[in-house]
Amino acid sequence: MREVFLEDLKPGQIFSSGTVRIEAEEIIGFAVQYDPQPFHLSEDTAKHTFFRGLAASGWHTAALTMKLLVESNFKPAGGLIGASLEELRWPRPVRPGDELTIKVEILEVRGSRSKPYQGIAKIKTTTLNQHGKAVQIYVANIVVLGRKKEPKPQRP
């Protein structure tokens, strides 16, 4: 897979990933460690909550999305480095047995004023379940290196 530099990115480009299946055991394991709330911990305790059944922590979905992104065909030079997110939504719950995949769309590309050898790409990442429904959407600004390298300081 070819690395992309700032100059290669254009608004409207779409990248995609493989899929990952999420099981109840993993949902519960993540929740025990990072989000121990009844609706993430067991089918039983989840039944009478807002989610009416076991649902993955939104942060678990975000982490799995990152995994899919790293393994996707979107390979910015220097790595995937998020500067900030402008928006992050979880439109529907992720359930045991769901199979997730992502779609990445380039929204904007701009050079950095202060650092001429890098820039920012605004991307929209949508995480879809096996029914093609969005379970997570975010808009992020990521750091992307330009093709020109920063000159090394001259020795006197």
Distance CA 128, CA 42 (A): 23
Asked if 38 is part of the footprint of a copy of itself (rule: CB under 8 A), the reply reads yes
Asked if 49 is part of the footprint of a copy of itself (rule: CB under 8 A), the reply reads yes
CA 134 from centroid of its chain's CA atoms: 13
Asked if 23 is part of the footprint of a copy of itself (rule: CB under 8 A), the reply reads no
Nearer CB in complex with a copy of itself: 13/49: 49
Residue from 84, 113, 151, 152 touching a copy of itself (CB under 8 A): that is: 84
Q: Report how many residues bind a copy of itself under the rule CB under 8 A.
A: 34
Torsion over CA: 23, 25, 31, 37 (sign): positive
Residue from 17, 90, 120, 123 touching a copy of itself (CB under 8 A): that is: 90
Asked if 18 is part of the footprint of a copy of itself (rule: CB under 8 A), the reply reads no
Q: How far is the CB of 34 from a copy of itself (least distance, A)?
A: 4
Q: What is the DSSP letter of 5?
A: -
Contact partners, residue 131, CB within 8 Å, separation at least 6: none
Nearest CA to 126 out of 116, 138, 111 is that of: 138
Q: How far is the CB of 38 from a copy of itself (least distance, A)?
A: 7
Residue from 18, 43, 50, 133 touching a copy of itself (CB under 8 A): that is: 50
Asked if 70 is part of the footprint of a copy of itself (rule: CB under 8 A), the reply reads yes
Orientation of helix 58-70 relative to helix 24-34, angle to 10°: 110
Distance CA 63, CA 105 (A): 19
Q: Which residues sit at the interface with a copy of itself, rule CB under 8 A? A: 30, 33-39, 49-50, 57-60, 62-64, 66-67, 70, 78-90, 143
